[in-house]
């Protein structure tokens, strides 16, 4: 492999800037008179035979073919070789359209070449493609080593410029400085044999490991196996009320039957991955024969804490429950020391208990800004994983990188739009007699306290309801005994054969036994409650307890309805879908009947009302519990909208502060990275030209969107209401500024001139057109940098 990589670097350097356009294979007539291997050459538009002078050499047959821009399907006597440009074309096409697989691509090439397709051609193509990917990955490793970017955590620690390229003297960001989101996807299943031993689809055995550091190993994930975590959770008591999880019952009960069946069918059931807030993939893990077990997010968080240290915040659809698990796990101490924050994403957050939202939903957590925190076929494990890693690398390089400045600019604009609604907020506050915005924080605390009290009934009330229920049971037993005695007829049956079939005596004995048990239960509660006179239906205590029991039944029906609506929400592709399942309709009807039977009747719900709730957790405010909250300002729909708008404005201000910092980080990185790569290219140009050329290709790919980013930032700076810094700062990590002293031209000739900030009125920000002067300014900056490298 090393010889092939060296041959590839030399061949790629020889074709130079012309690229794959000049990478045509040798013409067939050039092979006349040669006595080496004869192979079939697969190119873009033809398949032809070629006689070579390649036999055996110290470098090996594959390396000799690679010097010609050809990848063989066998290391010794290949029958087919494929040109690099075909493989590179397929790589990019497949990464843009992952559904395009090898076989239809090969059939297309055969159709164009006018030859019949043969199934073995697909197998040979896969061999060549795997070899080619291995070669270019090793070439990337050499570039990374030359740039001192080959440490195990370098990619993770530098995956996103806006997140990681911190500057000296920049504004401190509140709460978690590094925002990430984590979740799973079940779209990458890989089949195994059934549990009964019958094999449905057996993947090929492949011991190869995928190149790169995106994936966490199974061993690292299994370190946090669920049984070990559960033991730790059971042994560690919760420290305070903040560790309590009001959603634990809800998420424990929401088990997907399809996922449960999937464990017996698939080996890899999906992937669990973490993204930064700008969309760059940080790390991922295979979900193996399981659903979303806690070991996956624990392993992900461990890797992120190792890489980023303190100030990490991660949004997860069940972040509330995971926060409790993490706090009680062996990783809990490290997470607390690093000031880790567990959050709930905006979409999934509205399916959480309202009490959970007040503590974990990004809207109410200071420092989160406007971040919402929501961001194969029958192949071997190696090929499935290789496809995922290649796709992620391609997406990060060509999609996420391109959209970085657009993300920052759009978030800044969105925050400005939200802040502009502040005058409307003031008017609404005045209309509803709200004197100061500080009242909203007290509303949240009051609502949190109210919901906490809803979770557990007072012990005395619980005993009174139990006593009432026991009295009802005793009354029923008394009525049963009296009914049997009243119907008793003393008669002598002259037919002895029918005497054994008379069940009246048996029923009476059973009724008396039940009566005794019910009386003993009533007596026990009377002693516990110190009730001197037994309650009767006419007494006020009886009626009050009956009302409490009625409310409790209503709340339980509402709980069940809420849980079903939440479950349905995750099953529907859109919230307003008209169809509902039988089970859900049944419980809606049950809840409505119970509500109407209460005194006074409670408000009923329709499905249209349910799906139009701003957040499903408003169910918690429909309970009509011991405390009447109807007059509370935070329970009023208008008051709640005003409160939420206030917190949106607060998060928008935080977002502007964060984006301002991230834009300056990006501008600084653009200057430092360009200068650094040019210096490295100059450093290796005289000693290792092939490696220097690979660094140039790396620079072209890595910096291709820098000019676009500067244009977006410059356009944003023209708005009169925008205050951003486009002058580069001083990075805390000075590694990019450690230039080679033998090439002072790079540092002395390159002068980064940021675009001038303007106070001109805001123009049409959606327009893609820029002035010619703007384009010339940015193009000139890059040209100066490139000139210094030549």
Give the pLDDT score at 359.
Answer: 62
- How far CA 296 is from CA of 229, 360, 373, in Å, comes to 12, 20, 18
Tell me which residue of 566, 556, 564 sits closest to 623, measured CA to CA: 556
pLDDT beyond 50 at 148: yes
Q: How confident is the model at residue 245 (pLDDT cuts 50, 70, 90)?
A: low
Is the distance from CB of 583 to CB of 565 less than 8 angstroms?
A: no
pLDDT beyond 60 at 88: yes
Q: What residues contact 699, with CB distance under 8 A and at least 6 apart? A: 674, 677, 678, 681
Question: For tokens 């800044």, what's the residue?
Answer: 412
Give the pLDDT score at 226.
Answer: 54
Among 129-143, 497-511, 709-723, the minimum mean pLDDT is found in 497-511
pLDDT beyond 70 at 178: no
- Rg of the chain, C-alpha, whole Å: 35
Please compute the mean of the pLDDT values over residues 475-498 and round it to a whole number: 68
Bridge partners, residue 48, by sequence: 41
Please compute the mean of the pLDDT values over residues 360-387 and round it to a whole number: 59
* pLDDT, averaged across the chain: 72
The token pair that represents 503 in the structure block: 């069940």
CA atoms within 13 Å, Cβ hemisphere of 748: 6
Bridge partners, residue 507, by sequence: none
Give the pLDDT score at 368.
Answer: 63
More confident site: 726 or 315: 726
Please give the Cα distance from 65 to 59 (Å, whole number).
10
Instruction: Give the tens place of pLDDT for each residue, 89-135.
Output: 998 888 888 888 888 899 898 888 888 888 888 889 999 998 999 99
More confident site: 351 or 141: 141
Please give the Cα distance from 268 to 288 (Å, whole number).
4
Instruction: Give the tens place of pLDDT for each residue, 350-367.
Output: 556 666 666 666 666 666
More confident site: 40 or 577: 40
Instruction: Give the tens place of pLDDT for each residue, 321-331.
Output: 777 777 778 88
pLDDT beyond 50 at 554: yes
Is the distance from CB of 101 to CB of 91 less than 8 angstroms?
A: no
pLDDT beyond 50 at 84: yes
Torsion, CA 97, CA 98, CA 99, CA 100, rounded to 10: 70
Give the pLDDT score at 745.
Answer: 44
pTM for the whole thing?
Answer: 0.65
Please compute the mean of the pLDDT values over residues 549-568 and round it to a whole number: 64
CA 753 to chain CA centroid, Å, is: 38
Burial code (b: 16+ CB inside 10 Å, e: under 16) for 639-661 equals: bbebbebbbbbbbbebbbbbbbb
The CA-based angle 156-162-167, given to 5 degrees, is 100
Give the pLDDT score at 101.
Answer: 85
Give the pLDDT score at 98.
Answer: 80
Give the pLDDT score at 711.
Answer: 92
Q: What residues contact 80, with CB distance under 8 A and at least 6 apart? A: 39, 40, 41, 42, 72, 73, 121, 124, 128
Please give the Cα distance from 592 to 589 (Å, whole number).
5
Instruction: Give the tens place of pLDDT for each residue, 263-304.
Output: 444 445 577 778 888 888 888 887 766 555 778 788 888 888
Provide the 3-class DSSP secondary structure of residue 588.
helix
Give the pLDDT score at 788.
Answer: 43
Instruction: Give the tens place of pLDDT for each residue, 650-698.
Output: 889 888 999 999 999 999 999 999 999 999 999 898 899 999 999 998 9
Give the pLDDT score at 185.
Answer: 52
Neighbours of 616 (CB within 10 A): 20
Give the pLDDT score at 87.
Answer: 92
Give the pLDDT score at 666.
Answer: 93
The token pair that represents 400 in the structure block: 């996420």
Please compute the mean of the pLDDT values over residues 735-761 and round it to a whole number: 47
Please compute the mean of the pLDDT values over residues 339-344 and round it to a whole number: 78
The token pair that represents 237 in the structure block: 């008591």
More confident site: 214 or 357: 214
pLDDT beyond 50 at 253: no
Give the pLDDT score at 194.
Answer: 41
Please compute the mean of the pLDDT values over residues 560-578 and round it to a whole number: 47
Q: How confident is the model at residue 708 (pLDDT cuts 50, 70, 90)?
A: very high
Give the pLDDT score at 784.
Answer: 45
Give the pLDDT score at 160.
Answer: 86
Give the pLDDT score at 545.
Answer: 83
Give the pLDDT score at 119.
Answer: 86
More confident site: 790 or 654: 654
Is the distance from CB of 364 to CB of 448 less than 8 angstroms?
A: no
Please compute the mean of the pLDDT values over residues 134-139 and round it to a whole number: 90
Give the pLDDT score at 783.
Answer: 52
Give the pLDDT score at 710.
Answer: 93
Give the pLDDT score at 748.
Answer: 40
Give the pLDDT score at 771.
Answer: 42
Instruction: Give the tens place of pLDDT for each residue, 637-651.
Output: 778 788 888 888 888
pLDDT beyond 60 at 575: no
Q: How confident is the model at residue 755 (pLDDT cuts 50, 70, 90)?
A: very low
Give the pLDDT score at 355.
Answer: 61
Instruction: Give the tens place of pLDDT for each residue, 399-431.
Output: 888 889 999 999 999 999 999 988 888 888 888
Instruction: Give the tens place of pLDDT for each residue, 23-39.
Output: 777 766 655 656 678 88
pLDDT beyond 90 at 774: no
Bridge partners, residue 344, by sequence: 361
């Amino acid at each position: 492999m090393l010889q092939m990589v060296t041959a590839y670097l030399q061949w790629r350097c020889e074709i130079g800037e012309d690229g794959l356009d000049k990478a045509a294979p040798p013409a067939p007539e050039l092979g006349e008179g040669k006595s080496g291997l004869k192979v079939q050459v697969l190119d873009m538009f033809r398949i032809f035979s070629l006689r070579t002078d390649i036999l055996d050499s110290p470098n090996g047959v594959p390396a000799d073919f690679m010097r010609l821009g050809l990848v063989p399907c066998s290391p010794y006597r290949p029958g087919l070789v494929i040109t690099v440009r075909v493989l590179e074309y397929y790589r990019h096409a497949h990464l843009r359209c992952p559904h395009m697989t090898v076989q239809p691509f090969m059939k297309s090439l055969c159709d164009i070449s006018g030859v019949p397709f043969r199934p073995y051609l697909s197998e040979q193509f896969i061999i060549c493609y795997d070899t080619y990917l291995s070669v270019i990955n090793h070439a990337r490793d050499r570039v990374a080593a030359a740039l001192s970017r080959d440490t195990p955590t370098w990619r993770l620690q530098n995956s996103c410029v806006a997140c990681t390229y911190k500057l000296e003297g920049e504004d401190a960001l509140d709460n978690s400085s590094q925002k990430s989101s984590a979740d799973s996807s079940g779209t990458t299943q890989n089949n195994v044999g059934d549990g009964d031993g019958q094999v449905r689809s057996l993947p090929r055995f492949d011991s190869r490991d995928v190149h790169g550091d995106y994936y966490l190993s199974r061993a690292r994930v299994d370190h946090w196996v669920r049984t070990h975590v559960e033991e730790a959770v059971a042994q560690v008591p919760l420290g305070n009320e903040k560790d309590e999880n009001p959603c634990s019952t809800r998420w424990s009960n929401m088990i997907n039957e399809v996922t449960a069946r999937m464990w017996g069918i698939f080996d890899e059931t999906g992937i669990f991955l973490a993204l930064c807030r700008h969309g760059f993939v940080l790390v991922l893990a295979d979900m193996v024969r399981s659903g979303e077990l806690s070991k996956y997010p624990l392993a992900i968080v461990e890797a992120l804490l190792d890489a980023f240290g303190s100030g990490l915040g991660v949004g997860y659809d069940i972040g509330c429950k995971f926060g409790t698990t993490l706090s009680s796990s062996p990783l809990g101490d490290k997470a607390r020391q690093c000031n880790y924050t567990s959050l709930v994403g905006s979409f999934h957050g509205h399916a959480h208990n309202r009490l959970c939202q007040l503590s974990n939903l990004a809207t109410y957590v200071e420092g989160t800004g406007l971040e919402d925190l929501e961001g194969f076929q029958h192949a071997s494990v190696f090929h499935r994983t290789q496809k995922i890693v290649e796709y992620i690398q391609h997406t990060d390089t060509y999609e996420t990188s391109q959209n970085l400045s657009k993300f920052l600019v759009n978030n800044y604009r969105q925050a400005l739009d939200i802040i502009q609604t502040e005058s409307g907020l003031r008017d609404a506050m005045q209309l509803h007699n709200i004197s100061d915005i500080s009242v909203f924080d007290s509303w949240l605390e009051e609502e949190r306290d109210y919901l906490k009290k809803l979770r557990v009934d007072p012990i005395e009330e619980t005993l009174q309801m139990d006593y009432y229920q026991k009295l009802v049971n005793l009354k029923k037993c008394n009525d049963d005994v009296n009914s049997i005695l009243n119907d008793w007829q003393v008669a002598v049956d002259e037919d002895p054969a029918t005497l054994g079939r008379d069940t009246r005596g048996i029923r009476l004995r059973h009724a008396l036994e039940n009566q005794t048990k019910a009386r003993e239960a009533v007596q026990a509660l009377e002693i516990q409650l110190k009730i001197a006179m037994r309650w009767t239906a006419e007494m006020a205590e009886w009626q009050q307890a009956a009302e409490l029991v009625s409310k409790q039944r209503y709340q339980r029906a509402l709980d069940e309805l809420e849980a079903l609506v939440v479950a349905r929400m995750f099953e529907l592709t859109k919230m307003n879908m008209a169809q509902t399942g039988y089970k859900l309709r049944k419980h809606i009807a049950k809840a409505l009947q119970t509500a109407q039977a209460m005194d006074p009747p409670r408000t009923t719900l329709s499905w249209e009302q349910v799906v139009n709730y701003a957040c499903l957790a408003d169910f918690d405010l429909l309970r009509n519990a011991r405390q009447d909250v109807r007059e509370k300002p935070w329970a009023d729909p208008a008051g709640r909208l005003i409160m939420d708008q206030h917190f949106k404005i607060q998060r928008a201000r935080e977002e502007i502060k964060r984006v301002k910092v991230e834009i300056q980080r990006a501008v600084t990185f653009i200057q430092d990275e360009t200068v650094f790569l040019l210096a490295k290219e100059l450093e290796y140009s005289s000693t290792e030209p092939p490696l220097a050329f690979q660094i140039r290709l790396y620079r072209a790919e890595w910096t291709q969107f820098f000019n676009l980013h500067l244009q977006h930032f410059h356009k944003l700076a023209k708005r009169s209401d925008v205050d951003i810094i486009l002058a580069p700062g001083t990075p805390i990590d000075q590694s990019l500024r450690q230039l080679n002293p033998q090439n002072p031209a790079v540092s002395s000739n390159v002068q980064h001139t940021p675009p001038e900030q303007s106070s001109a009125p805001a123009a049409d920000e959606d327009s893609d057109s820029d002035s010619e002067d703007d384009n010339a300014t940015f193009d000139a900056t890059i040209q100066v940098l490139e000139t210094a490298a030549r």
